[in-house]
Structure 1
Amino acid sequence: MSFTVTPAAEKFIRRLLMFDGGPGSALRLAVSPGGCSGLAAEFDVETTPREGDKLVEVGGLRFFLPAESRLLLEGVTIDFSETPTESGFVFHDPKASSCGCSTEEPAESVAGE
């Protein structure tokens, strides 16, 4: 099991664990296919794993991961983005193909006169 957590995501996760958890708590991260990045996630701070979860430690952070999440996170970089309009985890998966759901508008073509 190998995934990376960026400094921005690490800071966010550590805050969650500090304010919502206690000793031995971990971030339960349930990842599923979907979303623009190819992955969608639900997360919560929990003190014990649920049935089927596995404890995974990355960079000193503890995660409870269901089986599907462990498969989907292989090789992924977890980042955290915060803008004035939204915030959340961003998953960079080198295995995923682009879905083409960019907010950029196509360049206008200029017809010759």
Structure 2
Amino acid sequence: MLTKFSVTAAAEKFMRRVVRFSGLPSSAGFRLLVRTGGCSGYDAEFSAEVEARTGDETIEVHGLRIFLPAESRVLLDGLKIDFIETPDRSGFAFIKDDQRSVVAVSADVARIDVSAIGRG
């Protein structure tokens, strides 16, 4: 199944930063796991990965490789992925373009494992 979604400049910038500061080779990608759950309806987890895992679909956005597991592909189909920062929260927003409404905001950005951020 070919997933159709869009990524805003803010979301792309955040994803690129995660990959860049992961300490992995520049060819690494961004893995996004989206599941139903959480208080907003969706829960998102992410990591920088050298390669896609078995079952992941690789989608390229302006040279950025995004790895999506099957569950994520189903949930993201037809949505816009944005990254929102406010004084009290930050995270991904999943927006239905046709309705101009936010489906969910995942504030799980705070779950970045500091040990995964390389120096250099």
TM-score band (shorter)? 0.7 to 0.9
Identity, % of aligned pairs?
Answer: 53
The alpha carbon displacement at 1:23 in A equals 2.6
Q: How does the TM-score come out when normalised to structure 2?
A: 0.71
Match of 2:44 in 1: 41
Q: Using the alignment, how far apart are the partners of 2:21 and 2:5 within structure 1?
A: 24
Match of 1:111 in 2: none
Aligned counterpart in structure 2 of residue 71 of structure 1, from 71, 74, 79: 74
Deviations 1:17-54 (A, max 9, x none): 11113232111101111345532210000002222112
Match of 1:82 in 2: 85
Q: How does the TM-score come out when normalised to structure 1?
A: 0.74
Q: Using the alignment, how far apart are the partners of 2:36 and 2:96 within structure 1?
A: 12
Q: Highest Rg: 1 or 2? A: 1
Aligned length: 99
Deviations 1:69-107 (A, max 9, x none): 1111111100001112211111113589988xxxxxxxx
**2:16 matches 1:14:** yes
Unaligned runs of 5+ in 2: 104-120
**2:62 matches 1:59:** yes
Unaligned runs of 5+ in 1: 100-113
Match of 1:105 in 2: none
